[in-house]
Structure 1
């Protein structure tokens, strides 16, 4: 719920969605901030462990993994399922607005951002600009898709934006330099 609706979701709403009582929350967590900390850590760990890319990373084919990350990230499915999507955009606005929470969850969040950027790195590029482009394209596509859905009933512009970002990121990257083995 936090990735989909933000951390302003009430404890009562969280417990209702979980099918539990409000009192049950405090048996598990001392505060809502503790739950947010746990949610941020869980979201990054879940994405790292269960994505299809995690299995491909073991093969050592960095460029294949990088392209797969971009394709998956800038997909219609990812756009339409924020609750199951990347925690980078899912928590960015809330952690930026809530200094107390940011101080608690910031370490996990920063490591998650760095790890995602590293999957996109090519040559001298650390992947940060590519990650920013992907997060921005997804956010823009979401905003436009919502606005266009009312006005145009299914206008394909949102998918076009996602495809344009995918193409720009996969075709403009410089391949990794060959590493010497001698």
Structure 2
């Protein structure tokens, strides 16, 4: 906060409550996730999201994985902010997925919801383990491979000269 020119008190006075701060933070984080996801192929999204770099970037990573557990215990307004962000991300990913594989909109939405829940859960579980834990890496690898397998053969194909393993680059979201 000091780098932004705020004291703790000066920062918190901009919010009417702790719940208001969380709702604003969630809305901002979810909007960033939606923006970063725009136009990204589903298989690339999965590779980037379920990478060690993303898992280890707790401060700049996914809002859903970082705050989802806390949001569940917050007032309705915070949960509504999360639900809105999830809906917007689903819409963006479903549109991309539906247009790429010819799936109808309900099927594309269901597939994206499955991918999103699977991926966020994998990040949460992997982060719960020590960073250098083989289990933390195994969670990412297994979940990434399982999700990619549902996306079809082209999603699991590895591009020459490109590493899609745990140390692949990840967009912060």
TM-score by length of 1: 0.65
Alpha-carbon offset, residue 157 of structure 1:
3.5
1:74 and 2:50 are equivalent in the alignment? yes
Report matched runs for 1:1-182 at 5 Å.
20-25=6-11, 27-49=13-35, 51=36, 53-54=37-38, 57=39, 65-98=41-74, 100=75, 103-118=76-91, 119=93, 123=103, 124-125=107-108, 126=110, 127-144=112-129, 146=130, 154-173=132-151
The answer to which of 120-129 and 158-167 deviates more is 120-129
Give unmatched runs, 5+ long, in structure 1: 1-14, 58-63, 176-182
The number of residues matched between the two structures is 141
8 Å CA contact 2:29–2:63 kept in 1: the answer is yes
Partner secondary structure for residue 41 of structure 2: helix
Corresponding residue for residue 157 of structure 2 = none
What are the Cα deviations for residues 112-162 of structure 1, in whole angstroms up to 9, with x where unaligned?
212333416563252212211111111222223x1xx6xxxx454422321
Give the number of the structure whose alpha-carbon radius of gyration is greater: 1
1:49-90 deviations in Å (ceiling 9; x for gaps): 3x2x43xx1xxxxxx611111111101111101221111122
Distance in 2, matches of 1:26 and 1:165, equals 38
Q: With a CA cutoff of 8 Å and minimum separation of 6, indicate the structure with the bigger relative contact order.
A: 2
Bigger share in helix: 1
Corresponding residue number in structure 2 for 1:9: none
Note closer, same or farther for the CA distance 1:117–1:26 as it changes in structure 2 (3 Å cut).
Answer: closer
The TM-score normalised by the length of structure 2 is: 0.68
What is the root-mean-square deviation in Å for CA atoms of aligned residues? 2.6
Structure 1's 173 and 26: CA in aligned 2 closer, same or farther, altered over 3 A? closer
Q: Which residue of 1 aligns with 2:171?
A: none
**Matches of 1:142 and 1:30, distance apart in 2:** 31
| Offset, 1:19 | 5.2
